């Protein structure tokens, strides 16, 4: 069993997957920063100076000036602003992955056309070798 695990772990696909997970984690951090630091501030400014990461609903009935203040007070909150940021991050990641997959599919070579080695007999509709001059099934001349 140890030998099988070693073969599995050392396969190229396993190493490729590990590298992809590490790059994906770093890519996720970049996208999170892009959303939180680049996209959402101007978007919030256009909507009247709203800081999306500070949008929340306090479940204890009290009002707090910010999410940090509510968290410090130990109030239960629904953080819908953070949720909106995460939705935008997800959509950006999905869009970028779509573009990457689309580009990779464009780079793939089209499968080579396979030359047919058979043809159909016009009399009996049986598949026969392409070089045949007489059908072996109905004996018609081709």
Place of tokens 């994906």: 24
| pTM score of the predicted model | 0.57
**For the segment 88-113, what is each residue's pLDDT rounded down to a tens digit?**
888 888 888 888 888 888 888 767 67
**Local confidence band at 79 (pLDDT 50, 70, 90 cut-offs):** very high
SS3 101: helix
**For the segment 29-47, what is each residue's pLDDT rounded down to a tens digit?**
888 888 888 888 888 888 8
Q: Chain-wide mean pLDDT for the chain?
A: 85
Identify any residues that bridge with 134 across adjacent strands, giving them in sequence order: 141
Judged against a pLDDT cut of 80, whether residue 68 lies above it is answered with yes
Would you tell me the crossing angle of helices 80-107 and 12-33 to the nearest 10 degrees? 130
In the chain, what are the domains? 2-108 (1.10.1200.120), 111-142 (no CATH)
């Amino acid at each position: 069993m140890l030998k099988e695990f070693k073969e599995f772990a050392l396969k190229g696909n396993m190493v490729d997957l590990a590298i992809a997970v590490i790059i994906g984690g770093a890519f996720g951090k970049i996208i999170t920063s892009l959303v939180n630091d680049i996209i959402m501030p101007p978007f919030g400014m256009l909507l009247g100076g709203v800081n999306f990461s500070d949008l929340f609903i306090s479940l204890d009935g009290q009002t707090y000036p910010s999410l940090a203040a509510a968290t410090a007070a130990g109030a239960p909150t629904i953080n819908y602003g953070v949720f909106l940021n995460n939705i935008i991050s997800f959509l950006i990641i999905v869009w970028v992955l779509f573009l990457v997959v689309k580009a990779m599919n464009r780079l793939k070579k089209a499968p080579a056309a396979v030359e047919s080695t058979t043809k159909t007999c016009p009399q009996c509709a049986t598949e026969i070798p392409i070089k045949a001059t007489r059908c072996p099934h109905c004996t018609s001349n081709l």
